[in-house]
Amino acid sequence: MKVNKELLKGSTTILILSLLERKEMYGYEMIKEIEIKSSGVFSFKEGTLYPILHSLESEGLVEAFWLEGEGTRKRKYYRITEKGKGQLKEKQEEWKTFRSAVEKVMWEGIVWG
Partner 1 sequence: MGVNCSSRIEEYMNEVCGHIKFKEVHKEIKLELESHIYEIVDEYMNNGLSKEAAVEKAILQMGDSVTVGKQLNSTHKVKPDLGILVTVAVLLSVGLIALYSIEAVVNSYYRHASFLFTKTVVITIAGIAIGSLMYFFDYKKLKPFCKHIYLLNLLIITFITITGNRVRGIGYLTFRDITINYIYVSPWIFVISYAGILKEWEWDKFINSLLGIALLLLPFMIYLSNAGAVAVIYFTTLIVVAVASRVNLINIIMLMGCPLVVGMFFVMGNEYRIQRFIAMLYYKADTLGTGYMYVQCKEAIKSAGFFGKGFKAVLQVPETKTDFIFTYIVYSFGWIAGIIVVALAVLFIIRMVKVANMVKDSYGKIMIKGFIAIFGVQFVWNVLMNLGLAPIVGVGLPFISYGGSQLMASMAVVGIISSIFRRKNLAAGIA
Question: Per CB under 8 A, does 46 bind partner 1?
Answer: yes
Question: Per CB under 8 A, does 35 bind partner 1?
Answer: no
CB of 35 to partner 1, least distance (A): 11
CB of 36 to partner 1, least distance (A): 13
Q: Which residues contact 66 (CB under 8 A, 6 or more apart)?
A: 74, 75, 76, 77
24 in Cβ contact with 10 (< 8 Å): no
User: What 8-state DSSP symbol labels residue 48?
Assistant: G
Question: Per CB under 8 A, does 82 bind partner 1?
Answer: no
Only segment of 3-11, 17-25, 26-34, 93-101 that touches partner 1 (CB under 8 A): 26-34
Q: What is the spatial distance between Cα 60 and Cα 20, in angstroms, rounded to a whole number?
A: 14
